[in-house]
């Protein structure tokens, strides 16, 4: 399955959850929090203005490392890339450099 986001949506692969705390304590799988960081896999063409028909340019590009809100996006399982998030560009808080 090849996913191509529409409008101002992006597809993000979430980073793997950390198995250790900063203090070195090992966490079981059910105690690990889902990371709020990921890598952009695909970017839509931009949101279309209904009055003029023009599209706004996307600020993100494929390969960007992003920080997003914990409730952002919808999770889907893709055969090629595994579990991915489909979210609006506005759900991204920052690009991590």
Whether residue 81 lies inside any domain: the answer is yes
Which three-class secondary structure state does DSSP give residue 84? strand
Q: Looking at residue 48, what is its pLDDT?
A: 86
Phi–psi pair at 90, nearest 5 degrees: -70, -15
Model confidence band, residue 18 (pLDDT cutoffs 50, 70, 90): low
Q: Cα separation of 6 and 60, whole Å?
A: 14
pLDDT digits (tens, 9 = 90+) for 43-95: 999 888 888 888 888 999 999 999 998 888 888 886 776 788 999 999 999 99
Whether residue 29 lies inside any domain: the answer is no
Quote the pTM value. 0.76
The total number of structural domains that make up the chain: 1
In this structure, what CATH number is given to the domain that contains residue 85? 2.30.33.40
Whether residue 2 lies inside any domain: the answer is no
DSSP 23: T
- For residue 59, give its domain range: 9-15+34-96
Helices (H) and strands (E) in the chain, counts: 0, 6
């Amino acid at each position: 399955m090849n996913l191509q986001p529409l409008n101002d949506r992006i597809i993000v692969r979430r980073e793997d959850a950390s198995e250790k705390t900063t203090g070195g304590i090992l966490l079981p799988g059910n105690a690990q929090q889902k990371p709020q960081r990921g890598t952009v896999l695909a970017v839509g063409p931009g949101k279309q203005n209904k009055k003029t028909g023009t599209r706004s340019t996307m600020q993100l590009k494929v390969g960007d490392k992003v920080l997003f809100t914990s409730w952002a996006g919808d999770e889907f399982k893709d055969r090629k890339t595994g579990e991915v998030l489909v979210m609006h560009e506005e759900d991204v808080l920052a690009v991590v450099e």
